[in-house]
Structure 1
Amino acid sequence: MTDRDSVHGGGAWAAVRRVAASDRLSGLIMLGFALLSLVLANLPATAHLFEAVAETRIALPRTNIDLPVGHWAQDGLLTVFFLTVGLDLKQELTTGSLANPRAAAVPMLCAVGGMITPPILFVAVTALFSLYGPGPSGGLVLTTTGSVITFAEMARGWAVPTATDIAFSLAVLALFAKALPGSIRAFLMTLATVDDLLAIILIAVFFSSLNAWYWFGGIALCAALWALLVRMRRVPWPLVALVGVLAWVSMFEVGVHPTLAGVLVGLLTPAREIHGETTPRASRYAHRLQPFSTLLALPVFALFATGVHFESLSPALLLSPLVVALIVALVVGKPLGIMTTAWVSTHLGGLRMAKGLRVRDMFPAACACGIGFTVSFLIASLAYDNPELSAEARFGVLAGSLIAAAFSGVLLSRQSARYEREGARSAGASAD
């Protein structure tokens, strides 16, 4: 390759990095893939081909791992995203916003409140539908296709609306809140980071079916090898990659969702400078992986996660009990839980918001936390064995996330305009 080709290649890669680093562009790309997949899966001309691609099976040689392409996107490719989450979490816990629990106490508690309230509303709305459902004494729920589902079966999706999609929520902030103080973004970042950690724990605890216990030995061995290799002065990357793949296989075989292998090895990566380096390895590796996570793993996952076929894709789908319950949980439950927790922790618990912030200032950002998307799609596919419920749940997540994004966008733009006016008045007053 000539020097000129190298320059052009570097320029192209730099452009890719800029797109990946933009909350606004990366969020719009993922949303575009999600909407495209919904169209492809339901257009008569493309539905059969889309389903055929999604159901094409690929086996891992010399293992019993044989998954369709759609599952490889969910269980395999999404591991790259969870690896970046693990690296970011390690950095935040070591030197970032979570390193000082006292300073981060309010957003951390708000993350907990924002995860507890949506399931309560989800179960309440589902119970309300079942109360007046078919049967002599209710207890059943009708889907949009007329299938009869028990309340217990539908309530299995209680965890679906718990997660906040940090990429989308920050994209909304970037689009509509240019004049807001950095403390609001920092609050949202801290909240969403803790939310990610809690969602990971939730998936590990409630959506794992432990099979062969001896594979835990493989996980422990891979974890120890990874921790040793990434601390070496010269990291042997082919060996590190092999250990990462083996950790993924071990997670899969033991029955824990394999994407959590990415979180595990990410948390074992050094987050302080070693060997005279100027930047921590966790931060540096997360930066390098970001384009692959943001522009490959997440869009492809969104493509297959939302590519569900409905016999009749119509406005009536929005009246599905499951879809309504998810919309209420995301759009109402998330901000309600966050704002209530913020008020209680500051007014009754003696904690303090960041300097210059009041509890009511957080309402628009709290509404943005109702954008579930990535992890909510994943939990929806894990919570429901019934394909119809899984499809409706993912549609409900998409609908609820879009409504939350639109609502928070309007509120954030108004809040941003108010900050701009106040800033202009302050500047004029100081000039006088």
Structure 2
Amino acid sequence: MASNHGVWATMRRIAASDRLSGLIMLGFALLGLVLANLPATAHLFETVAETHVAVPHTNIDLPIGHWAQDGLLTIFFLTVGLDLKQELTTGSLANPKAAAVPMLCAVGGMIMPPVLFTAVIALFSRFGPGEMGSLVLTTTGSSIPFGEMAHGWAVPTATDIAFSLAVLALFAKGLPGSIRAFLMTLATVDDLLAIILIAVFFTSLNAWYWFIGIAACAAVWYLLVRLKRVPWIAVGIVGVLAWVMMFEAGVHPTLAGVLVGLLTPSREMFGEDTPRAERYAGKLQPFSALLALPVFALFATGVHFESLSPMLLLSPLVIALIVALVVGKPLGILATAWISTHVAGLNMARGLRVRDMIPAACACGIGFTVSFLIASLAYANAELSAEARFGVLVGSLVAATLSGILLSHQSRHWKEHHGQH
């Protein structure tokens, strides 16, 4: 029993470390890419990913790869919902005036990447083979209409909060906490906006009565998690039902996690030491960081390319995503920060200037989790979906490397400068 407790404590410690959990997820993402493209493992990997698992007496029948995306990822979105609720109540978003600049930067950081993404695709389509250059050539030689390829405009909009904080943890040891707080606030709002994007643009709504079911599940959850003794079996059943209703309604089912997370109390009740939302998020964190996200990353990047070669880096879609993530994200964030402080007269945290945010803004170009999810939702074409996920992986790695170099330089400079005073 004691050894089990020790294992659980170790897992919680690893999950709580931005650095370790980020590296584990990256490792699984690269493993998925390798397993799907090594001749020795490609067929087995594809067989596992495409094996269907059905829920008896329902029409829910998904391949294992989709269960990782639609099912397991719900745990991650539940922790996002719980964290959002806590941040909105007592955290960085509780004081809108103090959080105004990073909140606006999150919006700016989501507007600029689609603009650059569409511009790059349009540039390639001008030199495409079709009349008026309306077609874009892919690396495999197939011609894709501009409109179809531009359908992925939302892919580079989201920042991966876990990865960007992992980069900060690795390279920003000497920097003030206000930079981490700025990034936390920005990434949290970014998460919320990405959730809205998925709900609005990537749902195909079905019969209206499923929404009554979703509302009923939400109401029951709201009441159950406010009881003095929470009936966990009933709460679990309601959570699963909410997921099923979302699935049947045509809304992405992972959003059920966000919904119930936002309905969980975020202030102390019945003399408890910590708010329930914070406590539940802490208990779920190991499952999210060490199970849901690595398995999702494994299948999300586990796409087979006929030729996994450097030529893929010349794909218009891959180039557009790299430009959008590496250039668009920081450009949108920094431009918004400058306008907010120099034109609108808003204030950043004490001692922070816009230029201090350049390395952290580059870290926001790490798309990963939500970008992979949107890539699989945006493209029905398997080739485009695969190239988009490859583009997200490369763009995120470039953004992480760039921000790592800039953060370590900034950290060194900060130590020297403040060591003299």
Query: Normalization by structure 2: what TM-score?
Result: 1.00
Distance 1:25 1:293 in 2: 13
Match of 2:241 among 240, 246, 251: 246
Q: Secondary structure at the match of 2:133?
A: coil
Distance 1:378 1:362 in 2: 27
| Structure-2 residue corresponding to 1:42 | 37
Match of 1:337 among 320, 328, 332: 332
Q: Secondary structure at the match of 2:153?
A: helix
Matching residue's letter, 1:188: L
| Structure-2 residue corresponding to 1:378 | 373
Corresponding position: 1:33 with 2:37: no
**In the TM superposition, what whole-angstrom CA distance separates every residue of 1:177-199 from its partner, at most 9, and x where no partner exists?**
10110000000000000000000
Matching residue's letter, 1:396: G
**In the TM superposition, what whole-angstrom CA distance separates every residue of 1:133-179 from its partner, at most 9, and x where no partner exists?**
11242110011111110000000000000000000000000111101
| Structure-1 residue corresponding to 2:416 | 421
Q: Secondary structure at the match of 1:102?
A: helix
Q: Report matched runs for 1:154-233 at 5 Å.
A: 154-233=149-228
Distance 1:317 1:159 in 2: 21
The structural deviation recorded for 1:333 is 0.1
Matching residue's letter, 1:20: A
Match of 2:6 among 2, 7, 11: 11
Distance 1:346 1:301 in 2: 39
Distance 2:159 2:100 in 1: 18
Matching residue's letter, 1:373: F
Match of 1:285 among 269, 280, 283: 280
Distance 1:57 1:185 in 2: 42
Match of 2:289 among 286, 294, 306: 294
Distance 1:11 1:423 in 2: 40
Match of 2:270 among 275, 280, 293: 275
Corresponding position: 1:135 with 2:130: yes
Distance 2:71 2:357 in 1: 36
Distance 1:8 1:121 in 2: 52
Matching residue's letter, 1:182: G
Distance 1:242 1:141 in 2: 48
Match of 1:346 among 341, 351, 361: 341
Q: Secondary structure at the match of 2:269?
A: coil
Distance 2:271 2:165 in 1: 33
Distance 1:306 1:212 in 2: 33
Corresponding position: 1:307 with 2:319: no
Distance 2:192 2:204 in 1: 20
Distance 1:275 1:381 in 2: 44
Match of 1:67 among 51, 62, 67: 62
Distance 1:201 1:419 in 2: 37
**In the TM superposition, what whole-angstrom CA distance separates every residue of 1:403-429 from its partner, at most 9, and x where no partner exists?**
000000000000000111123212xxx
Matching residue's letter, 1:262: G
Distance 1:135 1:241 in 2: 54
Q: Report matched runs for 1:340-419 at 5 Å.
A: 340-419=335-414
Matching residue's letter, 2:279: R
Distance 2:138 2:361 in 1: 31
Distance 1:180 1:115 in 2: 25
The structural deviation recorded for 1:278 is 1.0
Corresponding position: 1:94 with 2:76: no
Match of 2:52 among 47, 52, 57: 57
Distance 1:183 1:142 in 2: 45
**In the TM superposition, what whole-angstrom CA distance separates every residue of 1:194-250 from its partner, at most 9, and x where no partner exists?**
000000000000000001110001100000000000000000001100000000000
Matching residue's letter, 1:179: G
The structural deviation recorded for 1:258 is 0.1
Q: Secondary structure at the match of 2:305?
A: coil
**In the TM superposition, what whole-angstrom CA distance separates every residue of 1:250-302 from its partner, at most 9, and x where no partner exists?**
00000000000000000000000011111000000000000000000000000
Distance 2:420 2:242 in 1: 57
Percent of aligned pairs sharing the same letter:
81
**In the TM superposition, what whole-angstrom CA distance separates every residue of 1:65-113 from its partner, at most 9, and x where no partner exists?**
0000000000000000000000000000000000000000000000000
Distance 1:183 1:415 in 2: 14
| Structure-2 residue corresponding to 1:320 | 315
Q: Secondary structure at the match of 1:49?
A: helix
Distance 1:273 1:22 in 2: 26
Matching residue's letter, 1:399: V
Distance 1:405 1:369 in 2: 9
Distance 2:150 2:418 in 1: 48
Distance 2:132 2:186 in 1: 42
Distance 2:344 2:393 in 1: 35
The structural deviation recorded for 1:21 is 0.3
| Structure-2 residue corresponding to 1:430 | none
The structural deviation recorded for 1:349 is 0.2
